[in-house]
């Protein structure tokens, strides 16, 4: 994909880690395929994950009652966000594809990556209530999560002790990526890498490398478009006619909008068109 740009955001402390190897594999393959690749190695950068008043320069709009969302939105419009935030936002603007590479910590990203989301994806730059989800600012970009787990794959099933991986992924893939408009590609999950053989790790890397060769051609995970929901005055609830049209389906439309039905199988781990119907 000559001319396309990929941003890889890495959250791991060690260069000897499997996460780092996954990142390096992505850099190598994407460059070979003609991509421009930029990186944000958050630990190496010593990225500050803590939101505060220090994220803006100049005087706050309301110094006596500081509201982070509105203050950073105003600062973004006026060019008053701090340099580290601006640099990451410029990378996002350049990128056609963003890969988030990290170990799953307590069912989410490491704190340093969570802080990256909170500080960099500020109001009006990454989302607002007029252009949510399918109409979000990044609707022409793609993103995916590539992560490792300490637990076995069997533990992340509907009958496993950690629960359904589709439910675990919903807050990140829908709540962060889809909310900002990204077309969300199926996650790359490397299960229990600390407890498998070297041969399995090598095969996992090879599979990742093979996938990356045609990553841009993949179909995204399906989410309900924003047009299916009422506007702000209606509380962003599903429109009645949409809910009625979905009533005959055996499965819920999504993990989040489940309408009290069984969850759609593998809806957060497989691309649209490749799941069970």
Q: pLDDT tens-digit profile of 117-139?
A: 999 999 999 998 888 888 889 99
Quick one: pLDDT at residue 273?
53
Whole-model pTM above 0.95?
no
Residue 220: predicted pLDDT: 95
**How far is Cα 127 from Cα 181, in angstroms, rounded to an integer?**
8
Confidence of residue 180 (pLDDT cuts 50, 70, 90): very high
Domain topology for 5-220 = Rossmann fold (3.40.50)
pLDDT tens, position by position, 47-70: 999 999 999 999 888 888 999 999
Average pLDDT over residues 226-242: 89
Provide the b/e sequence for 203-232 (b: ≥16 CB within 10 Å): ebbeebbebbeebbebebbbbbebebbeee
pLDDT, residue 232, reads: 82
pLDDT higher than 50, residue 238 = yes
pLDDT for 274 beyond 90: no
Residues 81-122 have pLDDT tens digits of 999 999 999 999 999 999 999 999 999 999 999 999 999 999
pLDDT for residue 76 is more than 60: yes
Report residue 1's pLDDT band, with 50, 70 and 90 as the boundaries: low
Backbone angles phi, psi at 108, to 5 degrees: -155, -165
**In contact, 152 and 191? CB cutoff 8 Å:** yes
Return mean pLDDT, the chain: 93
Q: Where are the beta strands (DSSP E) in the chain?
A: 5-10, 36-41, 97-103, 142-148, 183-184, 188-190
Say whether pLDDT at 276 is over 70.
no
Nearest to 5 by CA among 46, 44, 33, 42: 33
Average pLDDT over residues 131-159: 93
Q: Is the predicted pLDDT of residue 5 greater than 60, yes or no?
A: yes
Tell me what the mean pLDDT of segment 152-159 comes to. 93
Tokens of 258: 């489940």
The percentage of the chain sitting over the pLDDT mark of 70, rounded to a whole number, equals: 97
Tens-place pLDDT, residues 184-195: 999 999 999 989
Q: What is the pLDDT of residues 201-221, one digit of tens each?
A: 999 999 999 999 999 999 999
Q: Is the pLDDT of residue 77 over 70?
A: yes
Spans of all domains in the chain: 5-220
Of the candidate ranges 29-38, 176-185, 262-271, the one whose mean pLDDT is the lowest: 262-271
What are all long-range contacts of 260-265, with beta carbons under 8 Å and residues at least 24 apart? 263/164, 263/166, 263/167
Under a CB-based contact definition with an 8 Å cutoff, are residues 15 and 9 in contact?
A: no
């Amino acid at each position: 994909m000559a001319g396309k740009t990929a941003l890889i955001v890495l959250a791991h402390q060690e260069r000897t880690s499997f996460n780092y190897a996954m990142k390096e594999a992505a850099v190598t393959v994407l460059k070979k395929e003609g991509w421009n690749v930029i990186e944000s190695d958050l630990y190496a950068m010593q990225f500050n994950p803590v939101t505060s008043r220090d994220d803006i320069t100049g005087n706050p709009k309301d110094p006596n009652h500081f509201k982070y969302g509105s203050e950073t939105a105003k600062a973004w419009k006026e060019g008053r966000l701090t340099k580290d935030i601006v640099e990451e936002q410029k990378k996002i603007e350049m990128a056609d594809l963003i890969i988030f590479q990290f170990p799953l910590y307590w069912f989410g990203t490491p704190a340093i990556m969570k802080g990256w989301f909170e500080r960099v994806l500020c109001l009006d730059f990454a989302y607002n209530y007029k252009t949510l989800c399918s109409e979000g600012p990044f609707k022409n970009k793609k993103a995916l999560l590539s992560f490792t787990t300490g637990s076995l794959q069997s533990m992340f099933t509907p009958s496993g002790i950690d629960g359904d991986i589709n439910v675990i992924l919903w807050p990140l893939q829908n709540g962060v990526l889809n909310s900002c408009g990204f077309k969300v590609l199926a996650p790359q999950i490397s299960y229990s890498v600390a407890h498998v053989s070297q041969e399995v790790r090598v095969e996992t890397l090879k599979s990742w490398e093979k996938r990356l060769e045609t990553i841009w051609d993949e179909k995204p995970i399906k989410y309900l478009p924003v047009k299916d929901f009422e506007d702000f005055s209606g509380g962003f609830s599903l429109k009645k006619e949409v809910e009625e049209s979905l009533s005959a389906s055996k499965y819920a439309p999504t993990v989040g909008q489940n309408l009290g039905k069984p969850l759609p199988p593998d809806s957060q781990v497989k691309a649209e068109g490749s799941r069970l119907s």
